[in-house]
Amino acid sequence: MVGKFSRRDLGKGFGAAFATAAIGGSGTAAALQRTHLSFPKGFKWGCATAAYQIEGAVKEDGRGATNWDLFSHTPGKVLGGDTGDVADDSYHRYAEDTQLLKNLGVSTYRMSLAWSRIFPEGRGKPNPKGVDHYKRVVDNLLENGIEPYVTLFHWDLPAALPGGWQNRDTAHAFADYAGYMAGQLSDRVKNIMTVNELRCFTDLGHQVGIHAPGLKLPAAEVNQVRHHGTLAHGLAVQAIRAHAKRGTQVGIADNTTFYVPVMDTPEHVAAAKKATREMNAMFLTAIMEGRYIDEYLTQEGANAPKVQAGDMAAIGSPLDFVALNIYAPEWVRADSSPKGYATIPHIASSPHMASPWLIVGPEVAYWGIRQVSELWAPKVLYVSENGASADDPVQNGRIDDADRVMYLRNYISQFQRAVSEGYPLKGYFLWSLMDNFEWADGYSKRFGIHYVDFQTQKRTPKLSAAWYKEVIARNAVV
């Protein structure tokens, strides 16, 4: 338990609200609605997207090529040879997409900037057309009453940067870009996220090789790439603070791997929390603690990253908020090994959504928020992504994605549990506003609550959009 009130106190509040409404007669139904998994007033509901996944227009207005342009145009790297060349064409249709958001009733929107639209070569002279484009997008959101949360790097790395993330200089180039954009946008953007999902753009790109740039490097080099990623985040936090208007809130969007206790008993709960801290030692743990913990350094030995003076202080720069992308759980149980825990592998019968990696385990939503709160006591937490791929058959013009609704309802219920216990979760961004380029899966996996016909670019709300609209309107799980 953290925060000012306990679950018991909240229960008292609920009791009072229910009693009042019951006396009011016709208010009873509304009160029941409020008492059922409701969120506090002011909870921020939003949707999330990312530049390369939706924008298209890859050669327009001076945009430089990125690692994902090169990767997706390399035969065999993305399913079906799909690329982000056109994607949702949101570069041209952003005003239409703002209206989708407005119709849902969201108060916030998480979007990312394409670094190579601002600095086509990754560094050097800024491209005013790129800057102006994002000012227009942001202004359009604000005019419609939607608060933008801007991510500076969602994996589309300017291809001109020599060595990419293998080169420490890239971390400095990122910080320069971050500081520059903070200066340009912080009069209208109050919340900035540095990077999206450290583990994905480092490990998936450089160890597993299924994301750009498609490398399978040895352990020492992978650890160095990871270090450059966290360093880029830390240097960017410093640069943003140096260039942004006072009061700008800075955080990260991380896909921390969360270990869910197999049962809610003290020994398993403690084991799971320990696992989460240790298994994320190279990412969020380093950022929140400003050091690489001994368990990680011992485990990696000679392969541990080479760290320069000042790096860890930068990496550990205090954050205004921590945002988490929460999807699949890992299961863990306490055991008598020296570590004190054993992870439990997923098996064929583990339920999953259309993406095989997307194991369904709603409890991870609750435990993720709770573990981060207990381990590091961040001031503010957001869910920067949560959502699901589904098959989405189109029938008579309708897309009744009841399975996605099931997924969302169960996860959001677990986030509600975390909020009701006092953990400082202040907002939720659903991934995604609309179907888009799903990285190595191309357009084969749909995550949107709006269906996109990629031939015509027509957007159609799915059942899940209608459902999310109700959740937002009632500020409660429906």
Where does 262-417 show beta strands of DSSP type E? 321-325, 330-334, 341-344, 381-386
Which of 55, 278, 330, 385 is labelled catalytic?
A: 385
| Set 55, 147, 197, 363: catalytic member | 197
Q: Verify cis geometry, omega within 30 degrees of 0, for the bond prior to 356.
A: no
Task: Using DSSP, state whether 95 is helix, strand or coil.
Answer: helix
Q: Is 42 left (phi over 0), alpha (psi -120 to 50) or beta?
A: left
Distance, CA of 246 to CA of 249 (rounded, Å)? 9
CB of 343 to ligand FCB, least distance (A): 20
Whose Cβ is closer to ligand FCB: residue 119's or residue 201's?
A: 201
* Cβ distance to ligand FCB smaller for residue 385 or 435: 385
**Closer to ligand FCB by Cβ: residue 277 or 445:** 445
CB of 29 to ligand FCB, least distance (A): 36
Whose CA is closest to 44, among 336, 380, 399, 421? 380
- What are the tokens at 106? 């969201």
How would you label 253-276 residue by residue, b for 16+ Cβ within 10 Å and e otherwise? bbbbbbbbbbeeeeebbebbbbbb
Phi, psi of 459, deg, nearest 5: -105, 130
- 167: DSSP letter: S
The CB-of-236 to ligand FCB minimum distance in angstroms stands at 17
- As measured in angstroms, the least distance from the Cβ of 325 to ligand FCB is 6
Tokens of 386: 């949560």
CA distance 189 to 247: 11
Three-class DSSP category at 80: helix
Looking at beta carbons only, is 10 or 440 nearer to ligand FCB?
440
Residues near ligand FCB (CB under 6 A): 50, 53, 196-197, 200, 255, 325, 385, 431, 438-439, 447
Active site residue 278: no
Tell me the three state secondary structure of residue 260: strand
**Is 197 among the catalytic positions?**
yes
Minimum CB–partner distance for residue 431 and ligand FCB (Å): 5
Work out the angle between the directed axes of helices 402-420 and 363-376 (0-180°, nearest 10).
30
Tell me how far, at minimum, the Cβ of 379 lies from ligand FCB, in Å.
Answer: 23
Minimum distance from residue 270 beta carbon to ligand FCB (Å): 28
Residue 449 CA to residue 430 CA, distance in Å, equals 9
Asked if 387 contacts 430 with a C-beta cutoff of 8 angstroms, the reply is: yes
CA angle 280, 283, 289 (to 5 degrees): 90
Residue of 103, 106, 131, 105 lying closest to 117 (CA atoms) = 131
Q: Tokens for 377, please give them.
A: 């006591």
The minimum distance between CB 53 and ligand FCB, in angstroms, equals: 6
Nearest-angstrom CA–CA distance, 431 and 227: 27
Active site residues: 197, 385
